[in-house]
Each structure stands twice: as C-alpha cells, then as structure tokens.
Amino acid sequence: MKNNFIKILSNTNFTKVWFSLILSLISAYTLNFILIGKIFNTTQSSVAVGFFLFFYYLPTIILGPFVGVLIDNWNKRSIFTFSNLIQSLIVLFYAPVKEKVWPLYAIVLFYSFCDELFNPSVGASLPAIVKKEQLPLANSLFLFTGQSAIIFGSLVGSLLLKFLGNSILIFIIVSVLLLVAGLISLSLPKEPFRGTKKIKIDLTDLLNISRTLDLSGFLKQLKEGYNFLRNEPKVLFPILLLAGLQILVGMAIIIFPSLSNMLKIDFSDSSFLIIFPAIFGALMGSILIQRKVKKIRKYIFILAGLYFSGIGILSLSIVGFLFSKAIIPSLPILVGLGAAYIFMYVPLQTLIQEHTPFKIRGRVFGFLSTAVTLASALPMLITTTLIDIFGIRLILIILGGGILFLATLARCRYQTVLSINNNNNG
C-alpha cells in the first residue's frame, strides 16, 4: 500500500485536484460552522438554522438532474477553476452582513450553486487521471478528505471565531483559500479533463433560451443519461447503495446524542469514545482493501460490509441491556462499523467509475451527487421524530434488520451484477 500511496501522490494531476478539493471542502464547512452559529445566536431559532440548510440544499433539487449534461460537455478543469474563483468572490459578500439573517440565505444559495458543478466533476475526473488499479486508493483518499473536512472545517471555524470574533478577516481568509484552490485548478492541463463539446452555446441571442443552450441537444443527452442508468445495473445499483449509505451516515449524526445516552457515556466524551473507534476501523478497512482488492472480488467486500453493518447495529441495540458499562463492549462494534463502511463505499464508487463510459460520466456522477445530497437531507426530516416516538433502541433494531434484509437481497439477486473480478473486468 505504501508504494501505491507514493505512486498516486507522484501523479501531479491527482494531487492538484486533491488539494483543490481539500481547500474547497474546508472552506465550505468552515463557513457553514460560522454561519449556522451566527444565525442561531442572532435568532435563537432552530427554524432559522433549518432555513439556512434548506437554501444550502436547494440547488441540488433545482439543478441536480441537469448538471451532468453540462459536466460531460464542459472541460472539468474550467469547472474547478471558475467554481472556486466565483465562490471566492461570493464569500466576500458575507462581510458587510452584520446582524441581518435574510441576506445570508441568498448568499449561501449562490455559493451552493457553484458546488453543484464542482463536486460531481471531481468524481467524474478521477478515471481520467489515475490508473484503473489506483481507483480504490484514490476513492479512499477522497472519502477521508470529505469526512475529515467536516471535523477540520468546524475546528478552523471555532478557532477563527475565538481569535477574530465577527471580524471581516474571517471571510477574507476563506476567500483566499478558495482563490488558491482556483489557481491550483487553473494550473491543471486541459486534455485529461476535456468535455465532449457536443452542446454548443450561442450567446448571440440570449433571449432565445432554446438557441442559446441548444435545448433539444441538452434534452437528448439528458434522456441518454437516464436511459444508461436504467439499463446498466452495474452502475445504478452501486449508486442506490451509496445513497443508502449516506442515509445511514445522516441518521448516525442525528441520533448521536441519543446513542451516547444509550451507551451510558457523557456527551462530552462521545466524540472520543464513538467517533475515533469508527475512524480507526475505517483506516483498517481501507488498508485491507488496498492489500486484497486484486485477490477478492468487489461484491465480497460489499456484502461483507452490509452484513457487518446490520449485525453491528443490532449488537449496539443489545449491549445496553447486558452491560452496565455499555461503551466497553461497544468499542469493537464501532471499529467494525467503520471498516464495514469502507468495505461498501470504496468498491461501490470504483464500480461506478469503471463501468461508466467517458462520454456519459458527468451525467452519472451528477445523478450520484444528487442522490447522495438528498439522502443526506432525508434523515434530518424523519429521524428525530421516529426516535421520539419509538426510542433509539427500536430504531437500531429496525435499521439493523433492514440492512441484513438488503444484504440477503443483494446476495441473491445482484451477485452477478456485483461479481466483478479485478483480474478480468475490474
């Protein structure tokens, strides 16, 4: 694995995209941490915070089904560059907003619109810049980047607030980070990130939308993308499973306080006792995948991850009954859940990249980004209500049992879909 890590880091195109992604994600999560705190401190209203999150996710609802066509046709390098540079400017509009809240909603809406092109473009570009055998490692690095950025962005946000208060320097610093990300993207070569350029943009008559955007060609490519997904289970099934994984992650975040209480630990200690074992398990799972990916078929990892997740979640619901200090027997379970997540995420993401043709890759990853984002929002709407009604232990039992049922269904029905050997097809 060490040699593979050195090889992929020696790939200049990969490292530039990776560093651009790191800066972009840290900027986004830093801003979200600061702005959510500002909105709540100003209004003392969870509803106001909910509106902020609604406007943050709204671009996905509006553009999600359509961005893939643009990604396929446009150069990804240009998308990386302009998204970061435009966001760098948008962030500066936060600076003059003091005690007002409503302007923040409009600004975050425009900021989030840029991410709708940037995020799926990153996933779509990976197969063009890394070798096929390096895709699992690249996906692992990008996964850890996304998860770590949440923690690091919140830490950076809290430090900026502590030392700078409400100073406009906070937004200038974030703007500079995005500017650097844009400049890194600008230094990438054009060729590996090229688009198909089948849809021409005519700016001579801006009032004629169908002519300006080649509406008929746009709709034709959109239909082509959805037909591909409908007829290619090796891509559609992994996308649906990834969306399901994101629902699990979203639910885990929502039930975190209740889980801490069930495991009989103080909430102040929960980050160390719950999150770090899961992160350790994810690291171990990633190392195991890198070592065994050429010998063990992907569907074995995926099914193992599903079964481990179901059994682990069911086990968590039981330990509170059997042990006075429930966190002690829960530690190996949490490690196993972290590994199980990696067992599912990395092979699924790799399958999508391997079985999606270049000309349609943007539409597929646009659909994936939409599915994952909407799956992130879903738990916020229903999980807290279900916990209040049924209690966390029953929710864990239902969730664990549902995952085991899905694992059995996947093994019986989709084994031929997921059974891809790296020595042959991938």
Kindly write down the DSSP assignment for every residue of 152-182, as one continuous string: HHHHHHHHHHHHHTT-THHHHHHHHHHHHHH
C-alpha–C-alpha distance, residues 87 and 117, integer Å: 12
* Residue from 162, 121, 141 nearest 33 by CA: 162
At position 243, the amino acid (one-letter code) is A
- In 3D space, the residue among 111, 71, 66 whose CA is nearest the CA of residue 360 turns out to be 71
Q: What is the DSSP letter of 360?
A: G
In sequence order, the 6+-apart residues with CB closer than 8 A to the CB of 112 are 55, 56, 57, 58, 59, 60
Residues 238 and 349 sit within 8 Å (Cβ to Cβ): yes
Distance CA 243, CA 368 (A): 8
Cβ atoms < 10 Å from Cβ of 210? 12
pLDDT tens per residue across all 426 residues of the chain? 556 778 888 999 999 999 999 999 999 988 888 888 788 778 877 667 777 878 888 888 788 778 888 888 889 999 999 999 999 999 999 888 877 888 888 898 999 988 888 988 988 898 889 988 888 888 888 888 887 787 788 778 878 887 887 788 989 999 999 999 999 999 999 888 988 777 666 555 555 555 566 677 777 888 888 888 888 888 888 888 888 887 777 677 667 667 777 787 775 565 577 778 888 888 888 888 878 777 777 888 888 999 999 999 899 888 877 777 788 888 899 999 989 989 988 888 888 888 888 888 888 888 888 887 777 766 665 666 677 677 778 888 888 888 888 888 777 766 655 554 444 444
Q: Is 317:397 a contact under the CB 8 Å cutoff?
A: yes
Q: Where are the beta strands (DSSP E) in 65-170?
A: none
Element (H, E) at 401: helix 392-413
Is there a contact between 410 and 306 (Cβ–Cβ < 8 Å)?
yes
d(Cα 236, Cα 418) in Å, to the nearest integer?
11
